Structure 1
């Protein structure tokens, strides 16, 4: 367990020259049904540079963009995605939240990204641990490679988010052109199982606040690794993450983050003063003990579904993921 956070300020108010990218977590999900085309379109309209989504495979081999393994929570249907056909079944469901939307396919989401007006938008694909890696990535490869110019127009804008090391080798073998990120809550697990295999670490915001998180952020910075944080809907957390120099912030409230970024561009000194070096003491959930308990529970659930974690064999040098993201790594202040 890490000790309590140290009162530090990594960036002085005058040192900001870039702001994090805005990635819509399940789209603009604070305003629209999560993981729907309407939510993704809203995030893009707001000005988000990226969107985050989740994937599951139906019984008839379609990749659905959906968070839960079951459809009960957000739609008018019931049951597990893996045991139901999409065509003539899951495609008839609609979200409980208005405007009532269908569950989109990954292909439909990529169609949205391939529109001429959207070819700057990044897509972070959260690979849920109950997916079979061989089946998922084989289907995903066929979908991605069906687009003309996918090598330059699509693949560089995709990021595979991996919770479990069992996905690393199949992802490298079946989707070598797509970058890999580790999604997690534990710097220790990220360092032990994913460090060499991933170019980006998508970490829970709270896990990056305490001293263990500070050390991990420093290690990533020195190694040229990128950090994104999730799910950040609080203004003060957005400001703090900006001080850390993260590459992107995943948020349900895309409009809120983009408006805050505009404030930062106008007067960073004023915005930066809203949080201090004592920020880490303002919530129990930022303390090392809290993150230890939460990350331990998450690790238990991941191993229960996906099996025990194991070290990933060294990948060939040619398969090392590129550190930069597509057309733009971060948004410049004033751009």
Structure 2
């Protein structure tokens, strides 16, 4: 059965990467949530997508140039006036919330544009502190970062994020001894999924919001899909399973 991951929570209907958005994805029946992690000036792992806070909050500047005390003073729901003030969460806040829930958590390290010293080590320490292994998936466009974690902490599943069309990505994953890829949704078709299965590579395309593509991926047995609209995807999957 195709698993449904809420992209930045339920970002189609709620302010992305907030506890409000994560709770909404959980309540609509998603199997997991996906979120993004940067590092603050004082070393906290914080949940936000962009390198800068300008787009999603009422603050300005780079995440890396603010302490977490400063970051939490900005409203992460500023573009969503129908919702009250939302704090930029620490990753630890999310880990505490998800620890006792039957949810997968896909943590994307946003270290492909800026370099965050020792971010992998800090992430693993937090996961160990909260005794989280089985439900965790780590991903990044920085494949060196993922290989670093895979070599030193093989208990965690890592996935390679792919933005461009790649020739035989399942072979690339096999060469790197990685068993999951997260490609752009429009690169994935029935043959892509078949070949990946032959190589034992899990495929979780992002960001799948169109009904016809959701349906195609589900009917073709895609392992999971990452969507801004987990409520829509869960309902569609369940309807298809009934037939």
- TM-score of the superposed pair, with normalisation by structure 2: 0.90
Gaps of 5+ in 1: 1-18, 268-335
- Larger deviation, residues 46-55 vs 187-196: 187-196
In 2, Cα distance between equivalents of 1:34 and 1:76: 14
Instruction: Report SS of the residue matched to 1:92.
Output: coil
- Contact 1:125/1:161, CA 8 A, preserved across alignment: yes
**Are positions 1:104 and 2:89 aligned together?**
yes
Aligned-CA RMSD value: 1.8
Higher relative CO (Cα under 8 Å, sequence separation at least 6) belongs to: 1
In 2, Cα distance between equivalents of 1:24 and 1:235: 15
Instruction: Report SS of the residue matched to 1:145.
Output: helix
**Are positions 1:190 and 2:190 aligned together?**
no
Matches within 5 A, 1:116-265: 118=101, 120-128=102-110, 129-132=112-115, 135-147=118-130, 150=131, 154-185=132-163, 186-188=165-167, 190-191=169-170, 193-195=172-174, 196-209=176-189, 214-265=190-241
In 2, Cα distance between equivalents of 1:225 and 1:104: 32
Offset, 1:132? 3.5
Q: Which residue of 2 aligns with 1:25?
A: 7
Offset, 1:29? 1.1
Q: Which residue of 1 aligns with 2:73?
A: 92
Tell me the alpha carbon deviations over residues 73-99 of structure 1, each in whole angstroms, 9 at most, x when there is no partner. 010100000111112x11111121223
- Contact 2:170/2:195, CA 8 A, preserved across alignment: no
Provide runs of 4+ in structure 1 moved above 6 Å.
none
- Larger deviation, residues 159-168 vs 229-238: 159-168
- Larger deviation, residues 254-263 vs 181-190: 181-190
In 2, Cα distance between equivalents of 1:170 and 1:219: 26
Instruction: Report SS of the residue matched to 2:9.
Output: coil
Count of aligned pairs between the two proteins: 236
Instruction: Report SS of the residue matched to 2:61.
Output: coil
- Contact 2:215/2:237, CA 8 A, preserved across alignment: no
In 2, Cα distance between equivalents of 1:265 and 1:138: 41
In 1, Cα distance between equivalents of 2:62 and 2:242: 48
Q: Which has the larger radius of gyration?
A: 1
- Contact 1:182/1:190, CA 8 A, preserved across alignment: no
In 2, Cα distance between equivalents of 1:220 and 1:122: 21
In 2, Cα distance between equivalents of 1:133 and 1:174: 18
Offset, 1:55? 0.6
> 1:175–1:232: structure 2 CA closer, same or farther, 3 Å change rule?
same
